[in-house]
Copies of this chain bind each other. A is one copy, B any other.
Amino acid sequence: MKKGVYNMISERMKPYVNNNSAIRAMFEEGNRLKALYGEDKVFDFSIGNPNVPAPDCVQETIIDLVKNMDPVVLHGYMNNAGFEDVRQSIAESLNRRFGTNFAAKNLIMTVGAASGLNITFKALLNPGDEVIVFAPYFLEYGAYVKNYDGVLVEVSPDTSTFQPNLEEFKSKINEKTKAVIVNNPHNPTGVVYSEDTIKKLAAILEEKEKEVGHPIYLISDEPYRELAYDGVEVPYLTKYYKDTIVGYSYSKSLSLPGERIGYVVIPDELDGSDEVIQAATIANRILGSVNAPSLIQKVVGRCVDAAVNVEYYDRNRKTLYEGLTKLGFECVKPQGAFYLFVKSPTKDEKEFVEAAKKYNILMVAGSSFACPGYVRLSYCVSYESIQNSLPEFAKLAKELF
């Protein structure tokens, strides 16, 4: 057999293999540097891996379930959409907090938000259907849409506020538009889309739905919902626009990113609601998740009122934001998530990223979010790391300004 002549892997996977996630590459670079210089000498702002431990409720509930629940049920199959009691408990919690009116059947438990988005696109997209995103955005959205032969359509960033550019958005909607993704609070900028923005966005969508003659689904990706600061409100989008699907994850709100647990909300008001719920539930099965992990489903069902220590992130946010702006770096003040999106002092932000490495500071280039000229800093690190990084940022500023 002639080795190398035949294509071993799928043609579709080759671009991914040739250009593996820049964020992940940085993560591995971080591990290399830490092994070399010591954990506390490397300032790794590259990845959104929460450093605040899960709230006590999580550990206590795991132990209680393992000690007291029948293991055949606890670790067993359930409906592909998830345990009924868990979905009911989450639905009630959402209804209490946001004045919504969800039942268990409106929720599908998923293997994190990434899987929630995948089953949503699998359920909805026909080849060539367009999905609009607002730059900067999490580049994996492109892969999720492409998995189902959809086409990602970018709206360029409004770098003055990093609120979505609604004029350009309007111009990009056409008959092929099947969905729009918003991410609120926002990765990578930390911005929270205001109620005013959301109302305008909803008005455009309602108008355009009539024009194109079919639903345009608004997909609200909300893993950072609970991480909002300065008392800012994060609007619950199903209340502003009926064709909204919400994707949620407990990765950040309960510090469980490795556990892969989240859910999708498909409200009754959504056009084609029953069909979409069915299709997404089947997609959960045939894409291979089958169901979200069972023990951790039960845990989040019982910990609906628990939250990680948001104050910890808030102190990090303030210290890093104030420290960096004092040094002359420019950055929109973030009100949510755990990211700062800093304007690069060099024209090509990759030079900025490279220069920072000399001081053992790791950040991700904005081009990894379709927004060159900026860098993302994840401040979900220890407070000491933030404090100790500032003198290094000072040296970096001295070199660059």
Residues of A at under 8 Å CB distance from B? 1-3, 5-13, 16-17, 20-21, 24, 47, 49-54, 58-59, 62-63, 66-67, 70-72, 74-78, 80, 110-112, 114-119, 122-126, 140, 143-144, 147-148, 209-210, 213-215, 255-261, 271-272, 275-276, 278-279, 282-283, 285-296
Q: Which of B62, B78, B287 contacts A66 (CB 8 A)?
A: B62
* B contact residues around A110 at 8 Å (CB): 288
A279 touches B2 (CB 8 A): no
B296 touches A111 (CB 8 A): no
Q: State the oligomeric state as a number of copies.
A: 2
A286 touches B72 (CB 8 A): no
Q: Which of B17, B119, B214, B279 contacts A288 (CB 8 A)?
A: B119
A248 to chain B, nearest CB (A): 14
B20 touches A286 (CB 8 A): no
Q: Which of B59, B74, B112, B295 contacts A71 (CB 8 A)?
A: B59
Cα A12 to Cα B239 in complex, Å, equals: 30
A64 to chain B, nearest CB (A): 10
Q: Which of B5, B72, B124, B278 contacts A255 (CB 8 A)?
A: B72
> Given A71-B59, A275-B9, are A49 and B76 neighbors across the interface (CB < 8 Å)?
yes
> Given A144-B286, A144-B288, are A255 and B71 neighbors across the interface (CB < 8 Å)?
yes
B72 touches A111 (CB 8 A): no
A–B pairs, 18, beta carbons within 8 Å = A1-B210, A1-B271, A2-B213, A5-B213, A7-B126, A8-B124, A8-B275, A9-B278, A24-B80, A59-B66, A77-B257, A114-B290, A115-B288, A117-B288, A118-B287, A144-B286, A147-B287, A295-B296
A8 touches B215 (CB 8 A): yes
* B contact residues around A78 at 8 Å (CB): 258
A313 to chain B, nearest CB (A): 14
- Nearest 7 Cβ contacts at the A-B interface: A8-B272, A258-B294, A115-B288, A6-B214, A118-B288, A143-B286, A114-B288
A6 to chain B, nearest CB (A): 4
> Given A1-B271, A16-B279, A290-B114, are A148 and B10 neighbors across the interface (CB < 8 Å)?
yes
B76 touches A11 (CB 8 A): no
B126 touches A6 (CB 8 A): no
A288 touches B76 (CB 8 A): no
B54 touches A10 (CB 8 A): no
A112 touches B290 (CB 8 A): yes
Cα A2 to Cα B213 in complex, Å, equals: 7
B47 touches A17 (CB 8 A): no
B10 touches A260 (CB 8 A): no
For A260, the closest partner residue in chain B by CB is B293
A222 to chain B, nearest CB (A): 16
* B contact residues around A63 at 8 Å (CB): 63, 66-67
Cα A287 to Cα B144 in complex, Å, equals: 7
For A214, the closest partner residue in chain B by CB is B6
